[in-house]
Amino acid sequence: MIEVLNLTKNYGDRTAIDNLNFKIEKGDVVGLLGPNGAGKSTTMKIITGFMSPTSGVARIGGFDVFESPLEVKKKIGYLPETPPLYLDMTVEDYLRYVAELKLVPSAEIKKNIEKSLLKTQLLSVRKRVIRNLSKGFKQRVGIAQALVSNPEVLVLDEPTVGLDPKQVAEIRELIKELKGSHTIILSTHILSEVQATCNKVIIIHQGKIVAQDSIDQIEKMNQGFVTLNLKTRAAKNIKLILEKIEGVKSVSASDDLTYVIEMSDRADLTDDIAAEVLKSGAGLVELVRSKNQLEDVFLRLTYGQGVNQQENHQVTNEVLV
């Protein structure tokens, strides 16, 4: 459904995305996951035809995004980083305006507006002026405008950013409801968002894809590794001491008291680590095993230092910080 081949975008001499390749099948819900600045919005602007790449190809339903822009725009509903809302219009008038812009046949406009108002639970505010709506409702209007042409593909750029926890939960519910009737690609820097809504993930870091697979497979990449989170009472630099324990692969310190220790899952080093911490006089506040496999993989691919080069996935040194 979505096909991206060797896609590269340079802004001046800065490479925002570097030779991306991925395919998204019909019905998939894919999370484009990466820290800020990874290149998520750039990728989305290109596959929706809003920006041209420096090189490479993007196709939607077999149509090249730049050779057949009209065909592609008909197939896609896009929620950009900043939705292009006309604040002085009512919700309903705005949706009609977008439907007309997108050349929805006039016989279908009314039906499509009703459907997208219903799906995004905006029926009660249809006559309200957009300016007066809360941020959560404005975001729903953004999604409603993406839906109003009844597109096969939905491209949602950080759909929950800036919302409060209740609104986040509502938007996630909405995305789950849209599953099945649309192929969806959404971007996020929040890992739990991908786990809550997607069946596949593409992890992007500094403009490159560092992993892409089903959530299950990505979690399996971490097999053989265990991460321990350590908190000490006193600020003593014990990184070197921890690294010397046999079986420990890497230690990273986020501050003087907090460490992330990566080790092989074949060795249970909890006792050894606790003993060394106590011996050093740093004092033990917490030593817990990380329970979230996907989080381990994500951290390792985007922030980690201890990547094992023997592992068979698309990780190279140059993509790591």
Ligand X SMILES: Nc1ncnc2c1ncn2[C@@H]1O[C@H](COP(=O)(O)OP(=O)(O)O)[C@@H](O)[C@H]1O
Q: Does 227 bind Mg ion (CB under 5 A)?
A: no
> 62 and 96 in contact (C-beta within 8 Å)?
no
Order of all β-strands in the sheet with 208-214:
76-79, 153-157, 183-188, 29-33, 200-205, 208-214
Binding partner selected for residue 37 from ligand X, Mg ion, none, CB under the kind-specific 5 to 8 Å limit: ligand X
Please enumerate in sequence order all residues whose Cβ is within 8 A of that of 134, keeping only pairs 6 or more positions apart, or say none.
167
Q: Does 166 bind ligand X (CB under 6 A)?
A: no
Q: In which residue are the tokens 């997208």 written?
A: 116
Q: Does 227 bind ligand X (CB under 6 A)?
A: no
Structure tokens at 269: 């080093």
Do the bridges between strand 183-188 and strand 29-33 make them parallel or antiparallel, or are there none, so unpaired? parallel
State which of positions 41-60 bind ligand X (CB under 6 A): 41-42
Cα(233)–Cα(59) distance, integer angstroms: 55
Q: Does 160 bind ligand X (CB under 6 A)?
A: no
Report the 10 Å Cβ neighbour count for 311.
Answer: 14
Beta carbon nearer to ligand X, 41 or 227: 41
In SS3 terms, 160-224 reads as: CCCCCHHHHHHHHHHHHHHECCEEEEEEECCHHHHHHHCCEEEEEECCEEEEEEEHHHHHHHCCC
Beta carbon nearer to ligand X, 78 or 94: 78
Q: Does 41 bind Mg ion (CB under 5 A)?
A: yes
Binding partner selected for residue 38 from Mg ion, ligand X, none, CB under the kind-specific 5 to 8 Å limit: ligand X
Cα(35)–Cα(47) distance, integer angstroms: 20
Q: Does 212 bind Mg ion (CB under 5 A)?
A: no
State which of positions 12-41 bind ligand X (CB under 6 A): 14, 16, 34, 36-41
Structure tokens at 12: 């001046």
Q: Does 302 bind ligand X (CB under 6 A)?
A: no
Beta carbon nearer to Mg ion, 148 or 184: 184
Binding partner selected for residue 14 from Mg ion, ligand X, none, CB under the kind-specific 5 to 8 Å limit: ligand X
Binding segment toward ligand X, per CB under 6 A, in 10-18, 88-96, 141-149, 240-248:
10-18
Beta carbon nearer to ligand X, 4 or 16: 16
Q: Does 11 bind ligand X (CB under 6 A)?
A: yes
Applying CB under 5 A, which residues contact Mg ion? 40-41
Q: Which residues bind ligand X (CB under 6 A)?
A: 11, 14, 16, 34, 36-42
